[in-house]
């Protein structure tokens, strides 16, 4: 993996200001070991908790010392079901991906939760990471994942009266056909 430059597994302890929550310095792999994982070269843990244990796992990672939720996004796997998943994890249509970052241990962890198409809802992690507020609203707006417990789950990027969730694979691009022959038609 030279491309990313020598990824420093320094594991050093950056002096976060002392008032941050006391972190029980345990390796992230020790968190809920029974949750299926995939080996990944760039991130320390790639976990696939079932929907029920998602909030519990995020809570566990936060207590181990992952102070910052750097990213939360939703992906629609309608046309690509055959992706590599650890055995025992049934591929669903939607997937919510959460990236957590530990400043003290300089590690990243990625949680991928399968969300079925029948009821696309998931519990919100806004009580643990208030920073995920806007990201969850964007995931709701773009892919239509409902986050229970989110105080004001409304659209954030699209106008209020917009119907449909644009980043779903069955949502057309909305292309206006241009006037030359080979231009792909509206999709």
Count of C-beta atoms within a 10 Å radius of residue 18: 6
Helix (H) or strand (E) holding 83: none
| Whether the Cβ atoms of residue 111 and residue 58 lie closer than 8 Å to each other | yes
Q: How far is the CB of 168 from other proteins (least distance, A)?
A: 10
Main-chain dihedrals φ then ψ at residue 91, nearest 5 degrees: -70, 125
Q: Which of residues 62-121 bind other proteins (CB under 8 A)?
A: 67-71, 73, 75-76, 79-80, 83-84, 97, 99, 101, 103, 106, 108, 110
Interface pick for other proteins out of 57, 125, 142, 145 (rule CB under 8 A): 142
| Cα→Cα distances 118→7, 38, 94, 167, Å | 40, 26, 10, 18
The nearer residue to other proteins, 34 or 84, going by C-beta atoms, is 84
Interface pick for other proteins out of 57, 115, 135, 145 (rule CB under 8 A): 135
How many residues bind other proteins (CB under 8 A)? The answer is: 71
d(CA 3, CA 144): 35
Contact between 126 and other proteins (CB under 8 A)? Answer: yes
Q: How far is the CB of 151 from other proteins (least distance, A)?
A: 5
Contact between 6 and other proteins (CB under 8 A)? Answer: yes
């Amino acid at each position: 993996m030279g491309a990313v430059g020598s990824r420093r597994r320094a594991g050093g302890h950056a002096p976060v200001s002392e008032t941050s929550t006391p972190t029980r310095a345990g390796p992230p792999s020790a968190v809920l070991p029974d949750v299926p994982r995939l080996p990944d070269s760039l991130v320390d843990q790639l976990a696939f908790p079932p929907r029920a244990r998602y909030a519990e796992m995020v809570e566990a990672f936060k207590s181990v010392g992952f102070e910052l939720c750097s990213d939360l996004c939703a992906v629609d796997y309608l046309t690509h079901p055959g992706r590599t998943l650890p055995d025992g994890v049934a591929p669903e249509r939607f997937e919510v991906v959460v990236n957590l970052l530990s400043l003290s241990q300089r590690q990243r962890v990625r949680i991928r939760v399968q969300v079925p198409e029948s009821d696309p809802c998931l519990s919100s992690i806004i009580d643990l990471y208030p920073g995920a507020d806007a990201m969850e609203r964007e995931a709701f707006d773009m892919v239509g994942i409902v986050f229970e417990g989110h105080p004001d789950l409304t659209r954030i990027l699209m106008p209020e009266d917009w119907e449909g969730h644009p980043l779903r694979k069955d949502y057309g691009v909305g292309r206006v056909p241009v006037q030359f022959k080979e231009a792909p038609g509206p999709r």
